[in-house]
Amino acid sequence: MSAVVIQILILGLLLLVLPAVIGGLCARAYDGGGRLIFRWVSGQFLLWAGFQLMCVPMILRQQSLSRLALCFGAYGAILVFFAVALEIRHRKRGQVPAFFEPMKERTKKKVPESAVLWAVFAGGLLFQLVQAVRLAFDDADDAYFVAVASLAESSDQMYQLSPYGQGEMELDFRHALAPFSIWIAFLARVSGMRTVVVAQVALPVVLIAMAYGIYYLFSCSLFPEQGGQRALFMIFTELLVLFGNYSVYTSETFLIGRTRQGKATLGSIVVPFLLLLLLVLLRYLQKGEKVPISLYLLLGAAGMAGCLCSTLGALLSCMVIGLCGLCGAVCYKRLRLLFSLTACCVPCVGYALLYVFVK
């Protein structure tokens, strides 16, 4: 029992605490960047981007998961060091962005209705998190993605053993360039929790919460004044997710049913986060203010995270960043924006070219 508690604590540290600390590096990406949820999400994207950068070359060179875990651990430690140093520096200067929205910004008139709406939303979210543990979603693709993670964790080899039957296999470039399953194996290796439990139970709980965290950040950007509007937005979002099974292809179906597969994370977390960052970017353009470098950094990281989730992620990330850049450059007559956003897409283009080259 105590071993299980320790495993849960380590997973909590890896999936909640570390990203929240590392996210401090991007706290100044926009005026709501100090929010704990934004720190958590953006920290996770920085970690995913680094994972992708390290993992793909190591897979291609057929190196071990242990070695990758070591390198990624060092990367995480460096990010934590810089995030803590930055936090201390800002605290000394008294410029710490607030974790939670300051009370003074809140509407003075208490609206009991909004509390009820938030309670409804929280109930719906809790229901979904409980269902993620209680219900199993039968999807044959798990036979590849989860088995690859299980095999990597147990054999210490990445994409070298066949997930379906037996023996070794030729490197499957399409999947090896988007090694989300190896990230699951890494979590299982470090936490000591069985890979299948990490994939089928722990990740859905964390990633569903993260998806709603991103929608919450959307609500904060779309409705700057607090009150019932944000809560109502979250309830409608929740309803659209809960009733999003109008076809088996929707990102909502993937979020709730197939969370442990990278493509689900691409559609329901990476793409919405990219859109959120682009909304922030467009707001800077609207106000005629300078766009902070940390926002571009996050856009690049989100693109890389898209590549980690799926090989198609490279194309989708570039498409969404490119089209927004084009629209922004035309509408605001800021052609220089295109250069900055092109730079954000360079890693994705690199992965796309690598895929075309090795395919």
Positions 246 through 305 that interact with another protein (CB under 8 A):
246-247, 249-253, 256-257, 263, 266-267, 271-272, 275, 278-279, 282-283, 285-286
Touching another protein, residues 74-93 (CB under 8 A): none
Q: How far is the CB of 199 from another protein (least distance, A)?
A: 8
Pick the closest to residue 163 from 132, 205, 199 (CA basis): 199
Based on the shown chain and the rule CB under 8 A, indicate whether residue 242 belongs to the binding site for another protein: yes
Nearer Cβ to another protein (24/325): 325
Query: Residue 274 and residue 214: Cα distance in Å, rounded?
Result: 10
Q: What is the C-alpha separation between 62 and 51, in angstroms, rounded?
A: 16
Residues 340 to 359 in contact with another protein, rule: CB under 8 A: 352, 355-356
The C-alpha atoms of residue 194 and residue 200 are separated, in whole angstroms, by: 10
Nearest residue (CB) to another protein, 52 versus 195: 195
Spatial separation of the C-alpha atoms in residues 134 and 248, rounded to whole Å: 21
- Closest separation in Å from C-beta 219 to another protein: 8
Binding residue (CB under 8 A) for another protein from 165, 288, 290, 357? 165
> Shortest approach of another protein to residue 266 CB, angstroms?
7
How many CA atoms, within 13 angstroms, populate the side-chain half-sphere of residue 27? 23
Neighbours of 181 (CB within 10 A): 28
Least distance to another protein, CB of residue 9, Å: 17
Please give the Cα distance from 141 to 337 (Å, whole number).
Answer: 40
Residues 201-230 contacting another protein, CB under 8 A: 201, 215, 218, 222-223, 229
131 binds another protein (CB under 8 A): yes
Closest residue by Cα to residue 295 from 282, 306, 281, 307 = 281
CA angle 247, 249, 252 (to 5 degrees): 85
Query: How far apart, in Å, are the Cα atoms of 85 and each of 24, 91, 95?
Result: 10, 10, 13
Axis-axis angle for helices 36-60, 180-191 (nearest 10): 100
104-123 residues near another protein, rule: CB under 8 A: 113
In the stretch 139-158, what mask flags binding to another protein with x, by CB under 8 A? xx-xxx-xx--xx-xxx---
Q: Does 328 bind another protein (CB under 8 A)?
A: yes
Q: Tell me, what DSSP letter sits at residue 102?
A: -
Judged by beta carbon, residue 53 or residue 241, the one nearer another protein is 241
CB of 60 to another protein, least distance (A): 19
Q: Least distance to another protein from the beta carbon of 91, Å?
A: 32
CB of 245 to another protein, least distance (A): 4
The residues with which 168 forms a beta bridge, in sequence order, are: 161
- Taking the least distance from each CB to another protein, the nearer of 100 and 164 is 164
